[in-house]
Amino acid sequence: MVKAQQGDQEAFARLVEAYQVPVYNLAYRMLGVATEAEDATQETFLRVYTRLKTYDPSRKFSSWILSIASHYCVDRLRRRRGAVSMEEVESWRWMADEGLAPEDKALQRERDRSIREVLATLPEPYRLVIILRYWHNLSYEEIAEITDSTESAVKSRLHRARQAVLEGLNHALEGQHPLEERKEEASLAQRGRALLQASLRRPRREPL
């Protein structure tokens, strides 16, 4: 880190290698499109490079990088005009999950599709806290640092985000979704129901 700050490009290349997975996945979940996520990741690291000298070592480095990435993605979403078409991601591009059997790859793709659809319906601030909480496994404090807000704001935003997801799924289940007439949306409703049930059946980590 110190070497990279002094302008050592090899050291910076190692930083890129180390942080590309979290940055890329944040961008992918925020933007919903793999090609845009790649571009956003590149831009994020360019910004990291140019601002490296302003990095305050008292801050956690990963939080600092994720904060730059999330600001960039939010800006990009604001500049985006019109709807983007979702493209399918090839199955080999999913990272190995120790709990996943090879035959579950198709299921994982299906799950990714559902997650993308659910996230796409969420307003950006909600989407961001959900991603930071679940994909990056961060604490309220870290999420607050990345999103320039307070812990209590993060708590309430996560709560509202979960409520919004639940409402969206309920709408889909009840067939009240405005786009329900379209065939794909009916499948969203079915997937939503299946996912909700599947995740309810799964053993919880924090039984109450």
Among the listed ranges 42-50, 54-62, 68-76, 174-182, the one in contact with another protein (CB under 8 A) is 42-50
Name which position in 59, 80, 159, 182 contacts another protein (CB under 8 A). Answer: 159
Distance between CA atoms of residues 173 and 54, nearest Å:
49
Whole-number minimum distance, CB 114 to another protein, in Å? Answer: 7
Among the listed ranges 19-27, 60-68, 79-87, 177-185, the one in contact with another protein (CB under 8 A) is 19-27
Helix axes 183-201 and 151-174, enclosed angle (nearest 10): 120
Instruction: Please give the residues from 62 up to 121 whose contact with another protein meets the rule CB under 8 A.
Output: 89, 93-95, 97, 99, 108, 111-112, 114-115, 118
User: 57-75 burial string, b = 16+ CB within 10 Å, else e?
Assistant: eeeeebbbbbbbbbbbbbe
User: What count of other Cβ atoms lies within 10 Å of the Cβ of residue 26?
Assistant: 26
- The reply to whether 1 sits near another protein by the rule CB under 8 A is no
DSSP one-letter string for 162-195: HHHHHHHHHHHHHT--TTTTSHHHHHHHHHHHHH
Distance between CA atoms of residues 90 and 123, nearest Å:
27
Distance between CA atoms of residues 122 and 77, nearest Å:
13
What are the angstrom distances between the C-alpha of 91 and each of 17, 28, 107?
22, 15, 10
Name which position in 6, 46, 124, 176 contacts another protein (CB under 8 A). Answer: 46
Whole-number minimum distance, CB 60 to another protein, in Å? Answer: 19
Going 166 to 148 to 68 to 6, the CA torsion angle's sign is negative
Name which position in 1, 13, 103, 177 contacts another protein (CB under 8 A). Answer: 13
Name which position in 38, 149, 171, 185 contacts another protein (CB under 8 A). Answer: 38
For another protein, the binding residues (CB under 8 A) are 9, 12-13, 16-17, 20-21, 24-25, 28, 34, 37-38, 41-42, 45-46, 49-50, 89, 93-95, 97, 99, 108, 111-112, 114-115, 118, 130, 133-135, 140, 155-156, 158-159, 162-163, 165-166, 169, 195-200, 202, 204-206, 208
